[in-house]
Structures are given as C-alpha cells and as structure tokens.
Structure 1
Amino acid sequence: MDYQIARHNMVENQVRANKVTDPLVIAAMEEVPRELFLPESKRGIAYTDEDIAIGNGRYAIEPMVIARLMQIGEIAQTDVALIVGAGYGYASALVSRVAETVVAVESDPVIAQAAEKIMQQNNYDNVIVVEGDAVTGYAKQSPYNIIMFDGAVAEVPQAILAQLAEGGRLLAVVREEGKVGIARLYEREHGVIGHRDLFDAYVPYLPGFEPIESFVF
C-alpha cells in the first residue's frame, strides 16, 4: 500500500472537504504518517474516515475531527500544548508540527511506553510522553496555551481547566450518553473561562471520562 498517496487523498477528501484551510494544519496532516501510530494489524485502514480501535477500549479518532479542532485552536509556534489521553500519539505528533512543545499524557502504561518509543524512533523531539492519570491532566508542566482531548468526554474536569493559561484554548468533544458529541472551545480570558459550541462529532469516550452512572431507586 502506498501510504503517502493514501495520506494525500485523506487530506484532500476528508480534511479540506470539511472546511480545514489552515496551511499549518494541512501541512501537518500531509506530513505525519497515521499508520505509524496504529497497531500493525490496523495500518491498512489508517486513512479511512473513521475512528479505529487500538485496543484496551481505546480509539484513534478520525483525522478530520483532529484537524478541525487544531484549526479552531489557532495553535501558535510558541505554544505549549497538552494532549489528554494521547493513545499511541497521532494527535500529539500532529500538534507537535505546529506548537513548540507537546506534553502527551496517557493512562495506559503499555500504550504510553509504545507512544514514547514511536516518538523517539521518528524524531518527534518536542513531544514529551507522560504515563499518568489522564483525568487529572499534568499540572507539573502547566499552564498550557493549548489543551486538547484525544477522545470524547462527558465533561471537562475542573482540574484540567485549571491548567489552562491566560489566553489559552481547550478543545474537547463533549458527549452526553447516547447522543452525538459537540466539539467545544473553552477559552480563559482575564481569569474567566467561557466556552462555545462548534460542530457535531460522534467520537468514542476516553476511558475514565465516560458519564457517571446514576442510580434510580
């Protein structure tokens, strides 16, 4: 399979076709090989417009959603970014082509170790992979100019919102159980965090960020 041709077709037919025009985002999507961030058995479907199961309840979310979130985030080359629930690191690698530094926090130790190996072998030198509880983010390196969730959440934890820098942007697909998710942009201005809804996106939940079950008596 010619992955380079498949990647170019993905950019043309999935990314550009969904209103992504930012040249830095387009360049990152053209450059970063999604197949490297998938289990070997899934590489043949790397450029389909769907979420791909990568094991242990985890998914690589579809590239179009990542591209749209990156564009809306208006990532600058001086930004420090946090990717929450980084998986094998595809979104982290994409953001690293635009931002100065990326901290990728991943709860699953096996996946985190694999992501770190992929980054080292492919010279993503400005990505720091951290094994830790993604639900708490990674306050040690905060504040962040950009925070992005690599999967859907029932709600954005306050502990992670608190890690957003002044003027920072947080991007997440927020999804109620059984419903289509809403891509949402949070911004901190003058110490106050507000948000606005952007577009519909059905994205699988990140483990640990699912809706809390309520009991009816």
Structure 2
Amino acid sequence: MTDFAARRLTMVDTQIRPSDVTKFPIIDAMLNVARENFVPDAQREAAYVGDLVELGSGRCLLEPRTLAKMLDAVNISNDEVVLDIAPGLGYSTAIAARMAELVVAVETDETLAAEAQTLLMEADVDNAIVHRGMLELGAVEHGPYDVIMIQGGVERLPDTLLDQLKDGGRIVCLFMEGDLGTVRVGLKSAGRVSWRYAFNASAPILPAFCKECAFSL
C-alpha cells in the first residue's frame, strides 16, 4: 500500500523547501492536504512528482514548487478572501483554504466543478466554495478579493478580474510567452495594478486567457 504521507514529506523536503519556501502555513498545508485525492484515480501514483499532472478537460495540476512559490509570493493571511481561478479538482483551493478566511474557486467545466466541491467536502474544507462560471468573469458576487490566483498559464488578463481585487490586494499569474513562463505578482493601489517579477515557471495556457480571446462582455 502506497504511503502517501511519506510522499508528501518527501515532496516538501525535496521540492518545496529547496525552492526557498519556508513559511509555516504553506509547509503545513502541503504536508496535510492529500494531493493524491485531488487527481484522477489513474494519476494517484504521479501525484507527488515534481511535474504537471493532467486532470482532463484541459486542466492540469501545477507543479508543487510552482504553487508553493505562488503562495509564498502573495502571502495569504487568515483574515483574507481568496479567488482561485481554474483549480481543476480543487487541490490549490484546499491548500489556500488552510491559510485564508474563505476561498472562492471558479471552474468552468461542470464535471470538474462538481467533483471539486465533493472532494473539498470530503477533505473537511468548510471555508471554500466552488463557483461554476467563466474563468475570465471570476465571481463578482463573492468579492472583492484580497488575493487572486490563476492555476494555469495566461497571456492576457481581463479587467473584469482585476476589478474584483481589493485596493491593497495581490494577484499572482504565470504569464506565458511561447514556451517561457514568468510568474508575476500584481499589487493594486489607487485602482491600478503594478507588477513585479517573482520567478520562472511554465504551464499550459488557459484558453480563457489567451491573446486571441476577446473579452467582449
């Protein structure tokens, strides 16, 4: 029988800590959230590899290192509300929920959204909800948000998402240019978002955030 708890510890010790992620809430969350439960059954054995995990329906689970460093960059506190875009089966939502007051996950795919809600309930995550809707529209009815995370590559962002960020709030995105990706953190001040470089990473571009998409709302 696979010892997934041991694999979680190995993941933290070999992928997370060496990436200069040492904040206790992130380490604690990654040690305690069963990543293997948030992937398709056929992928459970691959849940802790240091790579993307395909979830189906065009979604993937980001590398543990990438998610951990994104969380480190936005530094969620326990009185904050987080918007988690494209969480697939909900792993990133479960992780963030251990740090935040509330996490609102937005997933377009009906099957993924329903399964994510079930998995979060089974994991006793009672401070997260899954909102089914278009990724680029966010979930304005539950906002504004202190933190926004996007679980996939982006080429452009619509103002509809940025408008849901509180003044003083942070947004973290993996901007893809060809095969190269850069994670940047945006800080909203006086209604405008200024960006800074965080680290390099890579992930498939989410169709809702590709250059060709026209956000005609």
Q: What interval of TM-score do these two structures reach, taking the shorter chain for normalisation?
A: over 0.9
Question: How far has the Cα of 1:140 moved from its partner?
Answer: 0.8
SS at 1:78 equivalent: coil
2:173 partner SS: strand
Query: Which runs of 4 or more aligned residues in structure 1 lie more than 4 Å from their structure 2 counterparts after TM superposition?
Result: none
Deviation at 1:14, TM superposition (A): 0.2
Q: Specify the alignment match of 1:74 in structure 2.
A: 75
Other-structure match for 1:207: 207
Distance 2:59 2:144 in 1: 27
Q: Which runs of 5+ in 1 are unaligned?
A: none
SS of the aligned residue for 2:209 comes to coil
Runs of 5+ unmatched residues, structure 2: none
Q: What's the secondary structure of 2:168's corresponding residue? A: strand
Q: Distance in 1 between matches of 2:43 and 2:210?
A: 25
Q: What is aligned with 1:26?
A: 27
* Aligned counterparts, 1:124-203, within 5 A: 124-176=125-177, 178-203=178-203
Question: Residues 59 and 86 of structure 2 are in contact (CA less than 8 Å); yes or no, is this contact kept in structure 1?
Answer: no
> Over the residues paired in the alignment, what is the CA RMSD in angstroms?
1.1
Letter in 2 for 1:14: Q
Could you tell me which amino acid in structure 2 is paired with residue 16 of structure 1?
R
In 2, the alpha carbon distance for the partners of 1:21 and 1:140 equals 34
Report the 3-state secondary structure (helix = DSSP H, G, I; strand = E; otherwise coil) of the residue aligned with 1:175.
Answer: strand
Q: Deviations over 1:175-198 (max 9, x none)?
A: 12x231110101112322111111
Question: In the alignment, does 2:52 pair up with 1:47?
Answer: no
Contact 1:155 1:175 in 2 (8 A): no
Q: Deviations over 1:144-168 (max 9, x none)?
A: 0000001111112211011000110
SS in 1 for 2:114: helix
Instruction: Provide the C-alpha distance between the structure 2 equivalents of 1:179 and 1:186, rounded to a whole number of angstroms.
Output: 22
In structure 1, what residue type is equivalent to 2:169? G
Instruction: State the TM-score, normalized to the length of structure 1.
Output: 0.95
Give 1:109's aligned residue: 110
Normalised by the length of structure 2, the TM-score is: 0.95
Q: For the residues of structure 2 that align with 1:95 and 1:105, how far apart are their CA atoms? A: 14
Residue by residue over 1:114-149, the C-alpha shift from the partner in whole angstroms, topping out at 9 and shown as x without a partner, is: 001101112100010111111111111111000000
Determine the structure 2 residue equivalent to 1:85. 86
Overall identity of the aligned pairs, in %? 35
Asked whether the 8 Å contact 2:188–2:194 carries over to 1, the reply is: yes
Task: After superposition, give the CA deviation of every residue in 1:15-42 in whole Å (9 maximum; x if it has no partner).
Answer: 0010101111111111111101000000
- Distance in 2 (CA, whole Å) between partners of 1:52 and 1:186 is 26
| Structure 2 residue identity aligned to 1:194 | S
Query: How many residue pairs get matched?
Result: 212
Tell me how far apart the structure 1 counterparts of residues 137 and 55 of structure 2 sit (CA, whole Å). Answer: 23
